[in-house]
Structure 1
Amino acid sequence: MRALLTSSGIRNRSIHDALVDLLGKPVAESRALIVPTALHPFPGGAEMAWRTVTGQGSAPLAGLGWKSLGLLELTALPHIAEAAWVPAVREADALLFCGGDPLFLSAWMRRSGLTALLPSLRPEAVYVGVSAGSIAATTTFVETFDDPPSADDEPLKSEPAVFTTPDGDLSRLLVTGRGAGLVGFGVIPHFEHEHHLDASPANAAIWASHIPAPTYAIDDETAIKVVDDTVEIVSEGRWKLFTQP
């Protein structure tokens, strides 16, 4: 399975062209399923999910002019027969994973059976991630939280961390999680974003030091394109690769 991992969706022409190249055909000829699951743990998640799946969200994803677009809600899948949803996943040209809570998303990817299914999908199928959706494609990831995550979300480890902001130090929980393992590197989205201060260059280095793999910090104008073992950065913005010493 191929992958296009973004921070904030299909934001520019370079990322759009990379998506078309991975699909091997125009978006208008491609079938997609969108996964809004990661949005649900947040206040207002229901509205955010609606805006995202109707193409009104801030991260361009659903409203790209797909030939067909279906909704795949992972929390529902354990309660329905596989025959009702697995064929749709196998037939899709692209699976679109929204942003939100990567710990919640990755846990439900496993519980629903989707993580186990992904390696058997067609080689030309494309995993498209936005923020948490991109993080969940990795093997091991970290994310910052204000409150301890639920044990049901399957955190591997939680530990305090101090991040530097213009207003002073910020204490957060740095939570380690287990992703789908589609790629062999880490992802830190929203690099240098004014509203994501824990992804500043200095703070991203703290994140990356907890990930046992090379880690890409990408801004909202950057994507990571993956075909087999080939990794290509597609960017009209800023990014940085952190490697373990």
Structure 2
Amino acid sequence: MRRRSRAGRRAVAADRIRPRCLAGATRPCDGGRVSRRRVSAGRLLVLAWLGLPGIGLAAAPSPDAVRAVAEQAVHARFDLPGSRVVAQAAPLDPRLRLAPCGVPLRAVLADAIRPAPRLSVPVQCPQADGWTVRVQVQLQLFRAVLVTNRALLRGDGLRPADVHAEQRDVTRLGYGYVDNLDQVTGRSLARALPSGSLLTPAALAGRRMVSAGDHVQVMADLDGIVVRADGVALGSGDNGARLRVRNESSGKVVDAMVRAPGVVLALP
């Protein structure tokens, strides 16, 4: 057997240690060290695929993403118990070019902002060199409001049976609305309302001067002579309201008009 020379033995040993480059091999052929450039590119691709933050991954948000943030802010501000919110953001200006943003977008509406058919919502990129863009959002806010069941006269007292609740878009009710029966208890009307009318704060007068079942003083003017009698009110109302009153002595029922608290004037 021929013995190898010392140089040959060193070459064989080196060949045993060095990894072999085979066709289709996935291992590197540079002594077991992966190039820094290849590792960095692979890491960025993995981070992007996973949706994780990484160096150089920030991108400009899409117009739809900006609009969605604005709509979510409107919902968060006005979506209260008993309400139904419909918010639709208008398209952004196609000429707008937003810079990349490496943090989540943010839009917050102040508590002082009242519901309106159209709102201007600021959407921010809250980073050091961030930006702000205003998005126009169309708002519909449906709530249960009180509507009259029948025609009511000025001065009539309001009872729960006189109204019912309907869903209305309150952003378009410029004169306000009434949504709670407690707001009408003991109140009278400042003006006449036909059936199906929205009840507004301006339509309500003060508290009723006379309520059904009250003992009242009935006054009658007979050719300049004032006659007084005790009666029981069969209706309710404020000053000027017409109602029926029963004479406590005779039992006769007459029409009367409220003149003051507990005082009515018999009508001819």
**TM-score when normalising by structure 1:** 0.18
**TM-score when normalising by structure 2:** 0.17
Counting helix residues as a fraction of each chain, which structure ranks higher?
Answer: 1
**Relative contact order: is structure 1 or structure 2 higher (C-alpha 8 Å, sep ≥ 6)?**
1
